[in-house]
Amino acid sequence: MEAEHIGFPLDILSILIGVITFYMITDIHAHHKNRTMGLKEAAFWFVFWVVAALAFAGYLWVAYDPSWAKLFLVGFVLEESLSFDNVMVFMVIFASFNIKDVLQRRVLFYGILGAILFRLAFASVGTALYAASPWVGLGFAAIVAWTAWKMLTSGEADESLHDYSHHWSVRLIERFIPVYPRLHDQEMILSRQEVEALRAHDPSIQIKGNASRYATPAFLCMMVIQMTDIMFAFDSVPAVIAVTKEPVLVWGAMIFGVMGLRAMFYLLSSLMKFLIHLDKAIIALLFYIAAKLAIEAGNNIMNWPGIHISPGQSMIFVFSILGIGVLASFVLPKKQ
């Protein structure tokens, strides 16, 4: 028997706050070591966060209700799946600004913090809007369906040809702070004294404006990633809300999903050439989510007889589609 609402239990909120705090402490400690993340370390942390999510689901199962655990798991898997596209764009952004090695890890730290904040804010607003009016569900369904359609019709367009160094957010930042055009160690902001010292060694460096602080390409890269985090939140939040309307479960799914984003980045850097059909599975999932949102909205608005999709059915469908996408990538590899 499903509980009607889970609310905002203090123990669950404490766990989620503890997870975010643990991520920040471990990542800041990694920065002090001043090294990049290797493949084995990335695999360890990815598995770590998956196991942590499973443990959280187990806690929900035992302490509250099995239905809440299932809803969280489906939301978590969806968030991880949609993060695949998020990571692909991160790779292109880093290439656009020539960000490599240790500096990638530093920029990802701020990018993931931004992803957490934006998703939590969007989830809070989204669940409140959905509770206020069932018509919001139709709007969410349209957003998710449009995202799936864009992915489907993009075909073989080469995203790697996109140059994010001319992104609109870069042009906006340049209006408020001058840009030092070259990377300098791991710095994102340079003082006037630092810029003058660097120019004294290399007079060919040209800068515009005269200010006390100058942005480096690393700072511009970080801001572009923050802007893309906002755009991805528009997609992922409605997708998870399609599974559960409980804010604390939406928050949990997104927090645990985003925690593994950094490790996923390093893993996919090595494995992306093998998972060639996973994007098709994600498109299928997005169309399924849009249909589920539309059906639920129709049930509430027009009093349809009702097609109810249980948490268990959603979990089976999501895992099956992703499994097919991964299996197809190895069984039907792309020809050279």
pLDDT at 55: 95
User: How far is residue 196's CA from residue 199's CA, in Å, rounded to a whole number?
Assistant: 5
Percent of the chain with pLDDT over 70: 80
pLDDT tens figures, 139-176: 777 777 777 777 677 655 444 446 667 777 788 888 88
Q: Tell me which residue of 60, 111, 319, 118 sits closest to 237, measured CA to CA.
A: 118
Structure confidence at residue 334 (pLDDT):
62
Mean pLDDT lowest among 11-15, 256-260, 300-304:
300-304
Q: Phi and psi at residue 189, in whole multiples of 5°?
A: -130, 135
32 confidence band (pLDDT: 50, 70, 90)? low
Q: Report the chain's mean pLDDT, rounded to a whole number.
A: 77
> Burial of 218 by CB count in 10 Å (0-12 exposed, 13-18 middle, 19+ buried)?
buried
283, burial (CB in 10 Å: exposed 0-12, middle 13-18, buried 19+): buried
* Confidence grade of residue 18 (pLDDT, cut at 50, 70, 90): very high
Query: Smallest Cα–Cα separation from 79: which of 250, 309, 331, 311?
Result: 250
Among 4-18, 102-116, 224-238, the range with the most confident prediction by mean pLDDT is 4-18
- 85-128 pLDDT per residue, tens: 677 778 778 888 888 777 887 888 888 888 888 888 887 887 77
pLDDT of residue 124: 80
What's this model's pTM, rounded to 2 decimal places?
0.71
Compute the distance between CA of residue 70 and CA of residue 66 in angstroms, rounded to an integer: 6
* Per-residue pLDDT band at 244 (split at 50, 70, 90): confident
pLDDT of residue 60: 93
Asked if the model's pLDDT at residue 25 lies above 80, the reply is: yes
- Tell me which DSSP letter residue 334 carries: P
144: Cβ contacts below 8 Å, ≥ 6 apart: 235, 238, 239, 242, 286, 289, 290, 293
Q: What is the pLDDT of residues 172-192, one digit of tens each?
A: 888 888 888 888 777 888 888
